[in-house]
Amino acid sequence: MTTITAPTFPRLFAGIDVGPSYRAHLNRFGDRPTFNDRKAEGLRTLHQLLDDAPLIGRGGGGIAASLKLAFLSTSTKPVIVVNAMEGEPASSKGVALAMVAPHLVLDGALMLAEALKSSQIIIAIADDDTRTTQGFQRAIGERRESISMEISHPPAHYVTGEESALVHWLDEGSALPTFRPIKPSFVKIGRRAALVHNLETLAHLALLARFGAGWYRSRGTSSSPGTTLITVSGAVQSPSTYEWTFGRTLGELIEQAGGLVEGFGGALIGGYGGTWVGGNALSLPIDHASLRSAGATLGPGIVVVLPKASCPVAEVTRVVEWMANESVGQCGPCVYGLPALAKDLRTLGWSRSTRNQFDRLLHHLTEVDGRGACRHPDGVVRLIRSCLSVFSAHFDEHLRSGPCAAVNAPTVMVLPKNRRR
C-alpha cells in the first residue's frame, strides 16, 4: 500500500517533478475523497471543511468557497463550471495548472459535483487557449468518471471570464454580464443553477479534502492561510507563475522571479482592474489584510513590476485603451465612459495639457464609477485613481513640462490584440 505524504511546499505544484499524468497524480496524492453519501452528510462535511480552512476563491472576487457551496446546497443538480478563461492578459496560472496539475482541478470539480448530486461539469477555456485545452483534454481522456466532463470554448475576451457573463454565454451564446450588487447570487444554465469556481480554487479544494484544514492553515497567515498562485511579469528576470505563501513580501516575490531587470518603480497588483503601489512597496506583505490596508487586492493573482525608468502615465493609458476595447458595449459607462477616460489619459501623456484637461479626467472618473451593468468600468476607475495617487508626481510633471522622455518606451504590460466581438 502506497503511503501518501502531505506536501509541505510547493502544494499545487508538488507533482511537477513527476508530470501531469493521472497515474503520477494518484501516486503523489492518492485517490480523491468522496462526498456523495445519500444522507447529505457528505455535503455538510465538505461545507465544514471549506469553512474551517477557510478557502477563499482565487478568481478575484474573494468569495469564500463555503459561502458559494451553502448558497447552492438546496439547488437540484447544479452545473459545475470550471472557470479557466484566464481573461486577465497578465495571468498564466491556467496554463500552469493545465500543464502541471490538471487532475487536482478535476478532482475538486468532481468532489463538488458528487456532494451536490450534479451530473455535469463544464470546463470553460478561451477559444484561443490551445495549451490549456490540450492539458485538460489529455487529463479527461485518462479518466473514467460517471459524471460528464466537457470542455467549452467561449470567446477570448476580458469580460467573458466574469462569472455571470460566462454563464450567460454557456446558456445563450452571448457573454453579457449581469448586474449583481450582492454576491454570491444565482446564475443559471437552462433551468439549473450553476456553481462557478476558478480552476485554482478547485485545485486547492482537492488538496484540502485530502489533508485537512490544519494542514491547509500550516502555511500563510491567520487571516490569509495557505498558498496562492501569482503570475509575475514586467521588469523581472524570470517572469512566470509562482506558488506563493501568503504573508511574504512583494520584494521576496520579485527575488523569487529572478530579481529586477532595472530599478523598482512600483507594481500593478490584481490585474488590469487592480491597484498600483509605489516604489516604497517592496516590504508590503502579500496577504489579504495587508493588501487591503494598502488599498489593493490580489485579484486573480497578478503582479506586474514597473521599472523605475518607465512612465506610469503612459503605461496606465495603454491598459485603459485596451480595457475600453474589451467591453461588451451594453451600457453607457463602457460605451462612452471608458473611451473618454482613455482619450483623457492619452492627452495627458502625449500632449502639453492644461489643468482643465486634468480636471476633465477627474470628472469622467466620477461619472463612470459605480454606474456600469458590471464591474468592468469600476475596475478601470480603480486602476486610474490608484495611478493618480501613487504616481502623482509623474502626472504633475506632465502637466508642467509635457510628455516625458519615457512616454514612448516599450511597455511592460501584456496587451494582446483586441478581438472584434
Each residue's pLDDT tens digit, 174-184? 988 876 666 66
Instruction: Kindly state the average pLDDT of the residues 377-401.
Output: 96
> CB under 8 Å to 109, separation ≥6 — which residues?
80, 82, 121, 123, 149, 197, 202
Domain extent listing, the chain: 22-217, 227-307, 312-401
157-to-351, 409, 419 alpha-carbon distances in Å: 31, 27, 7
Q: Between these two residues, 58 and 39, which has the higher pLDDT value?
A: 58
**For residue 41, what pLDDT band results from cuts at 50, 70 and 90?**
confident
| Candidate from 176-190, 324-338, 375-389 with smallest mean pLDDT | 176-190
- The CATH T-level fold of domain 227-307 is Ubiquitin-like (UB roll) (3.10.20)
Q: To the nearest 5 percent, what fractions of the chain are helix, strand and coil?
A: 40, 15, 45
Distance between CA atoms of residues 413 and 154, nearest Å: 24
pLDDT at position 112, please?
Answer: 96
Check residue 45 and give its pLDDT: 94
Query: What does the pLDDT read at residue 154?
Result: 96
Question: Is the confidence at residue 82, as pLDDT, over 70?
Answer: yes
Residue 59 pLDDT > 60 = yes
Beta carbons of 334 and 328 less than 8 angstroms apart:
yes
CA dist., res. 273 & res. 384, Å (int): 9
SS3 annotation, 359-415? HHHHHHHHHHCCCCCCCHHHHHHHHHHHHHHHCHHHHHHHHHHCCCCCCCCCCCCCC
- At 274-307, the pLDDT tens digits run 999 999 999 999 999 999 999 999 999 999 999 9
Give the model's pLDDT for residue 342: 97
Give the lowest-confidence range in 165-179, 227-241, 291-305, 391-405.
165-179
Q: Are 242 and 279 in contact (CB under 8 A)?
A: no
Superfamily holding 22-217? NADH-ubiquinone oxidoreductase 51kDa subunit (3.40.50.11540)
Give the CATH architecture of domain 312-401: Up-down Bundle (1.20)
Summarize the confidence of residues 110-138 as an average pLDDT: 96
Establish whether the linkage from the previous residue to 154 is cis, with ω within 30° of 0.
no
Tell me if 342 sits within 8 A of 318, measured CB to CB. no
| Cα–Cα dist 269/295, whole Å | 10
Helix, strand or coil for residue 97?
helix
- Give yes or no for a contact between 48 and 137, defined as CB atoms under 8 angstroms apart: no
3-class DSSP state of 223: coil
Residue 322 has pLDDT above 60, yes or no: yes
* 371 or 273: which leads in pLDDT: 273
Which run of H or E residues covers position 197? strand 192-198
Q: Cell 501568503 identifies what position? A: 246
SS3 call for 111 = helix
Distance between CA atoms of residues 300 and 163, nearest Å: 13
Residue-level pLDDT at 161: 92
For 44, half-sphere exposure in the C-beta direction (CA atoms, 13 angstrom radius) is: 5
d(CA 414, CA 408): 16
User: Cβ neighbours of residue 44 under 8 Å, at least 6 residues apart?
Assistant: none
415, three cell numbers: 496587451
| Average pLDDT, integer, range 74-86 | 92
Q: Do you find a cis peptide bond into 184, omega within 30 degrees of 0? A: yes
Q: What is the pLDDT of residue 116?
A: 92
Average pLDDT on 331-359 reads: 94
